[in-house]
Homo-oligomer: A and B are copies of this chain.
Amino acid sequence: MAARKHATAEEMAMAQKEISVSEFFAKNRHLLGFDNPRKALLTTIKEAVDNSLDACEEAGILPEILVEIDQLEEDRFRVVVQDNGPGIVKAQIPNIFGKLLYGSKFHSRRQSRGQQGIGISAAGLYGQMTTGKGPRIESRVKRGKAHRYEIQMDFTKNKPLITQDEELDDWHQSHGTRFEVTLEASYQRGLRSVDDYIKQTAVSNPHTSIRYKPPGEEEPRFYERAIRDVPDRAAEIKPHPYGVELGELMKMLRDTSSRWLSGFLQEEFCRIGPKVAKEIIATAKLGERSYPTRIARDEADRLYRAIQKTKISAPPTTCLSPIGEDRIREGLMKECDADFYSVSTRPPSVYRGNPFQIEVGIAWGKPGDDRLEVDDKGRIHKTKKKRGATDTEDLLGNADEPVRVLRFANRVPLLFQQSSCCFTKSVIQTSWKNYGMSQSRGAMPVGSAVIFIHMASVWVPFTSEAKEAIAPYPEILKEVRLALQEAGRKLGVHIRKGKRVTNEFQKRSYIEKYLPHVGIGLQEILGLDDEDREETVERLRESMETTRKI
């Protein structure tokens, strides 16, 4: 092989150039959840549904979502996601769907499903890369006309190119948005499928009704809403002082319109009043009337360190919109037919200045088994279990399998990267034996149960752009563990009671079985006639049932 030419600094300089964020993610698409055709289908639907639900809730509308998948060729599918949300203003459509890192949620400190401004345009880009076709969007705002756009992304510039722009005189809804994309994909059922995702979305969003048409089915499946009120719109909060780093603080000082340092602290942050501002400024050895824009790095550093030393109350939690215990219970009851439900909600907490709240629900039971019930008189009956109404496939597994953990972040189901998720680590670290479940060291507990875990936060620290798992911050790990323990204790009481009932039932079966033989024995020993024998057996049975009443 010929020796290869070496480069000079000047030649190397000529090769330097900007990389557009869409080129970057097109080449690294597995970072966004488009690793393979199966996952691409799920990610596309997930991003579109996230946006639809966020929009409906922001506008105070009870969401009605349609998800439709059609198979066009062996490896090509068309996906439609439609909502009854407020619609999107015409001028914003191309950027929202055709530009990565564009959106309203990144800069706001408010709980929402989307947070990065990448997802939906990445889905469009994936469609374009694999089939050459960009996404089609139809949208109508209240008292406006509907518009249809078709978009191609110029991925070397991260800019949308409009290939079709049409006003629609007639549209089938008074407001809402319809997103359509053709992509290389594959459809499968089972765990981590689109079916699974839709079902879990119904559990964590009981106020939402979803129609879902998988490929090859004629009629959509219908997931009806369980409750009729829209969750409160989460409030937006200012940054909490503890969550702001020195570099950001310096930028805030440069950019502020406040003229005095004291005013700057009170206006730009939450939880700083005049007294706290005074204390911070004194600790930093600065003047309350200093001009914020003139504060140099060293002074900013003192201010930063003074903030860390000052006791400041936790951020307000109006920015959070938890699901709530009743709704979690209803969601679980609707989708898993269990014997027992235990729900627990933690008070809000904070990591790196970001408020968050953990909610946990456990559904416990043995689907397919007969149920033992005790009536008012202490009699035990066997009853056949009812099956889940909505779907044939129950979320509950078998008694000898690891429990299933349903993970949610701001109501969005997380289906991948389970083992690297903070939630999974918390489940494994909890001692489930204390609550009557079996568990090997360092492993998931075993049993016919579903554990539901939800984190509501203004900023969820995902381990990747694909938003599949939550980073194990110590504060989050701890809150999840406490919530699991609370729910676990309630479950423990139930399991132990259930074990008593089962034991009792077994004892009574023995009595039923052996009492006649005891009777025959007595008859022989005491010389009873048949009638006396029957009566003795009956009295014996009554006496035993009475003394053993539960």
Known: A4-B233, A89-B9, A471-B30. A131 touches B16 (CB 8 A): no
Query: Are B18 and A102 within 8 A (Cβ)?
Result: yes
Per the bound structure, the CA–CA distance linking A17 and B101 in Å amounts to 9
Does A23 belong to the interface (CB within 8 Å)?
A: yes
Cβ of A445 within 8 Å of any chain B Cβ, yes or no, is no
Shortest A248–chain B CB gap in Å is 7
A62 to chain B, nearest CB (A): 12
Within 8 A of B (CB), among A14-73: 15-21, 23-24, 26-28, 30-31, 35, 55, 58-60
Q: Is A15 a contact of B108 with CB atoms below 8 Å?
A: yes
Contact residues of A between 172 and 221, Cβ < 8 Å to B? 175
- A141 lies within 8 A of chain B by Cβ: yes
- Whether A117 lies near B19 (C-beta < 8 A) is yes
Give complex CA distance A104, B12 in Å: 8
Q: State the CA gap A319–B139 with chains docked (Å).
A: 48
A443-467 vs B, Cβ < 8 Å mask (1 yes, 0 no) = 0000000000000000101111100
Chain B contacts for A84, CB-based, 8 A: none
Query: Which residue in chain B gives the minimum CB-CB distance to A21?
Result: B21
1/0 contact string of A391-428 vs chain B (CB within 8 Å): 00000000000000000000000000000100000000
A101 touches B464 (CB 8 A): no
Tell me if A103 is interfacial: C-beta within 8 Å of chain B: yes
Cβ A6 vs Cβ B58 within 8 A: yes
Question: CA A3 – CA B234 in complex, angstroms?
Answer: 10
- Assess whether A95 is interfacial by the CB under 8 Å rule: yes
The A contact surface, by secondary structure, is loop
Asked if A116 CB lies within 8 Å of chain B CBs, one says: yes
Q: Closest residue to A54 on the B side, CB-wise? A: B12
Taking the closest CB of chain B, its distance from the CB of A108, in whole angstroms, is 7
Q: How many angstroms between the C-alpha atoms of A3 and B297 in the bound complex?
A: 42
In angstroms, Cα B30 to Cα A168, docked, is 45
Given known A420-B420, A471-B35, contact A9–B88 (CB-CB < 8 A): yes
Chain B residues closer than 8 Å to A17, beta-carbon distance: 102-104, 107
**A91 CB within 8 Å of chain B:** yes
Cβ of A284 within 8 Å of any chain B Cβ, yes or no, is no
Chain B residues, CB < 8 A from A15: 104, 108
A482 at the interface (CB under 8 A from B): no
With a cutoff of 8 Å between Cβ atoms, the chain B residues found around residue A23 in the complex are 106
- Confirm or deny: A383 has a beta carbon within 8 angstroms of a beta carbon on chain B: no
Tell me which residues across on chain B come within 8 A of A21, comparing CB atoms.
21, 101
User: How many identical chains are in the complex?
Assistant: 2
Return chain B residues, CB-CB under 8 Å to A59.
6-9, 12
| Contacting residues of chain A (141-158) with chain B, CB-CB under 8 angstroms | 141-142, 155-156
Closest Cβ of chain B: how far from A144's Cβ, in Å? 8
A130 within 8 A of B: yes
A60 nearest CB neighbor, chain B only: B6
Cβ–Cβ < 8 Å partners of A141 in chain B: 8-10
A8 and B86: CB pair below 8 A?
A: yes
In the bound complex, CA of A462 to CA of B4 (Å): 28
Return the chain B residue nearest A125 by Cβ.
B247
Report B-chain residues with C-beta under 8 Å of the C-beta of A28.
Answer: 116, 462, 465
Chain A 422-440 interface 0/1 with B at a Cβ cutoff of 8 Å (1 = within): 0000000000000000000
List A74-116 residues whose CB lies under 8 Å from chain B. Answer: 86-89, 91-92, 95-96, 99, 101-104, 106-108, 116
5 A-B pairs with least C-beta separation? A129-B247, A6-B60, A15-B104, A13-B89, A9-B141
List 21 contacting pairs A-B, 8 Å CB cutoff, sorted by A.
A4-B232, A8-B141, A8-B142, A10-B89, A12-B58, A12-B59, A12-B88, A16-B102, A17-B104, A17-B107, A18-B99, A18-B102, A26-B247, A28-B462, A31-B464, A129-B248, A131-B301, A132-B246, A132-B247, A156-B251, A463-B464
* Residues in A lying within 8 Å of B, measured CB to CB: 1, 3-10, 12-13, 15-21, 23-24, 26-28, 30-31, 35, 55, 58-60, 86-89, 91-92, 95-96, 99, 101-104, 106-108, 116-117, 125, 128-133, 141-142, 155-156, 175, 232-235, 245-248, 250-251, 297, 300-301, 304, 318, 420, 459, 461-465, 471
